[in-house]
Amino acid sequence: MSSSSAAAVPGGTPADALRRNRILSSKLYFDVPGSKAPVVYSTAYDIAFLGIEKMHPFDSSKWGRICRFLTKEGHLEKNRVVEPLEASQEDLLVVHTEAYLNSLRSSFRVAAIVEVPPLTLIPNWLLQQRLLYPFRKQVGGSILSAKLALERGWAINVGGGFHHCSAEEGGGFCAYGDISLCIQFAFVRLNISRVMIIDLDAHQGNGYEKDFANDGRVYILDMYNAGIYPFSGTETDDYLDQLDKALKVAQTRFQPQLIIYNAGTDILDGDPLGNLKISPEGVVIRDEKVFKFAKDQNIPLVMMTSGGYMKSSARVIADSITNLSQKDLIQLGSQPG
């Protein structure tokens, strides 16, 4: 149910030098004033055009709904949310091959990646504008969140977590590898060399696992439903026990300088693609356990929202973020001074 990897760091090559230069010249890292909370979101995250987005079970307005719950209920002031920049072609080339990025100019290819066959018939310029641009904004959000986490102790990108996308291949509604990009930027710009990925989405993070398969700087704790095909119905208590055990093992094996937490809510009971039976309260407890794991060891943590295919996901995520604030694991209110 869980997997981990750690191996040798790749040596310096011309490709590494080019990657480093791209990272150093990127505009995605910028200074965020202390008056802002380390919560990253843009209205551009949300995907809507001609109702076609409804052909995939993913709730593509989930991200905006999470923020609206938090702001309307008084947990987070709208003007304290951080707006990220869009990841440029040069930013994306830090991880992705030119051939892969060029392949996204084919509507057929994009339709296959997001698993909505009718998109094949949509002009590619429209897909770039209405689908890939929102994804690129979310990538910018994931990358910036690591900088914020190092500065503030934690950060939440209300989107991102595209864990099925690797350097050369997208899939499963993931067109860009924001987790791999976030980590590569952190290595260079934040001068860190040990990152732990805690992936609790119901599906395996096969994208970044491919990218970091032989990189000892990255430890992967990926707890997923290996029995999705055809079915597996792990329930809340068993799931949380498994998580406790996995976190204990991770703590003894690796001391990270940054944790990337992929907090998919497709583990919820009733999710059409997750096939687990975790209650909303179980998701709240899960997130609390991971944030506590990081805080107890004083490790900065970035949370990404990742998968979650029911309308109820947004409510559960907002409730979980509210709980983290109430437990003093994060601070959504204004900073003193």
The secondary element (H helix, E strand) that includes residue 230 is none
Q: Which of 221, 288, 212 is nearest to 252 (CA)?
A: 221
Residue 133, Cβ density class (10 Å: 0-12 exposed, 13-18 middle, ≥19 buried): middle
Say which residues have a Cβ less than 8 Å from residue 300's Cβ, sequence separation at least 6. 146, 149, 150, 152, 153, 154, 155, 257, 258, 259, 294
- The rounded distance, in Å, linking the Cα atoms of 7 and 9 is 7
Tokens for 296? 């107890």
* Short-list 134, 254, 278, CA closest to 200: 278
Cross-strand partners of 220: 197
Q: Give yes or no: 164 in active site.
A: yes
Choose, from 96, 163, 164, 203, the residue flagged as catalytic. 164
d(CA 77, CA 84): 17
Question: Quick one: which of 309, 263, 313 has its CA closest to 56?
Answer: 309
What is the DSSP code (8-state) at residue 128?
Answer: I
The catalytic site residues sit at: 164
